[in-house]
Structure 1
Amino acid sequence: VHGLVRSAQPCARGRHGEGGAGIAGAGRLLPVQVLASNRLTYETVAQRLIVTVVPAPGGEPQYQGEFLVGNRNVEELLPAAARELFGQAVAGIWEQDDVSIINITSALDRGGRVPLPIEGHKEGVYVKVGSHAAFSPCLAAAASAQSRFRCRLGQQPLASCYDTFAPHFAIHWCNLTLLQVLPGPTASGPVWGPGVLEEGSDFQPPTTSPAGDLLPGFLLTLLVPLAVAALLCLLLGHLMCCRREGV
């Protein structure tokens, strides 16, 4: 596989209804533009997709972990077979069956260096997974403060699950991140101010405006600079004509 997905950005709102609320009960429609390039020919192609965003049935997983896979490129983990294989490996060390993949990001988007064009050199992929169950003792030990200290010394962290992903995935355990997402308060709807038009109404601009007296402002703007200029001229003339000393 020589392709590389460069970016995926939300598109601007197009035809009426796109990017809106979507179909009731089915999710929200999100137009996305995917930009990909060929590693060998440097050809670039863009494709516009309409993605239906459906909330997870059980909500966002409370426990989330992010792994850095060092021996894969991002396009190698996008196929369903590769994601399923990675999910099974994570479920084995998490000791849970409800582990799901949340996000897959190239290490190049996190400041990683472009790998050399040598066989076996990969860019690396960050894979975020989540579960509603707590972390296993192995994961907790790998992300503990003592393990972080060993990583700063150039040693492997304290964990007994290094070989769970082998030989398919090479995990950089010092880059393991564990996060517990606490449920936040439900966001209330927007509060409209007094200047918002009612639904179905049109804006009616004012046709007439009350006449104002602009003469005082005009005279003030014109006469004050003229008076200052006249005083300066008189002062300069007095200094040049009346204050000169003869030879």
Structure 2
Amino acid sequence: MLAIRNLHKSFGGNQAVRNLSFELKAGEMLALIGPNGAGKSTCFNLLNGQLKPDRGTVRLDGALISGLKPQRIAEQGLARTFQIAATFASMTVIQNIQMAMAAHHKRVFSFWRPLPHYYYAEAMALLQQLDLQHLADSASSQLAYGDVKRLELGVALASEPRVLLMDEPTAGMATAERRALMRLVQELVRRRGMSVLFTEHSMDVVFECADRVLVMARGELIAQGAVADIRAHPEVQKAYFGSGSSFSGLLRG
């Protein structure tokens, strides 16, 4: 579904991403992990068009998208959530979803037909999938943090993406909230047939939810594979803790 080939990006003398190649399969939950400064955020910014690669290609379902602007990439079927949730605080929960749906369908708003008339039933159906229907008319600014993260997920899903990038989706959430959100994402992946690439610092989330794991360090991909293989990989342990520590202990902790 997503094919990255020989991606490079430098900022002055700093090579943030070097010779990065991997694939995201249809219907897959793929985790991208690595220590701070590994290049994960730069990778995401290259994939969704916020940055242009110095060289290399990104293809979405076979179509070349590298170098396109974010809006064009979104129109091709790639959506993104951010570490710091981005919603319209001045709008209600359902209005956030309606606005996203209207933008996706390129609807022009009319003074004579206010926002509540656009995609109300579709927006409410999506809120039900997110278990937010009881908060539909609540101001987004009044939501608990976990509900804000669910709403941001809903805004991304309103564009009916084939690929969803999730940047630290559980950042700042308690353990129970983290697991509940990611279980919801897994269910939506199965229901919608999406593919998800996510970054995450919480290893319990990674080990419980990922079908495969990619590991970056110093801008390069140093390992990829199943969870069990990554936990035992010596280069991964070294990248996180140095040569004397056990990466697999993170899951038990």
TM interval, short-chain normalised = under 0.3
**More helix by proportion, 1 or 2?**
2
- Taking structure 1 as the reference length, the TM-score comes to 0.20
- With the length of structure 2 as denominator, give the TM-score of the two structures: 0.19
Higher relative contact order (CA 8 A, sep 6+): 2
For the pair shown, the structure with the greater C-alpha radius of gyration is 1
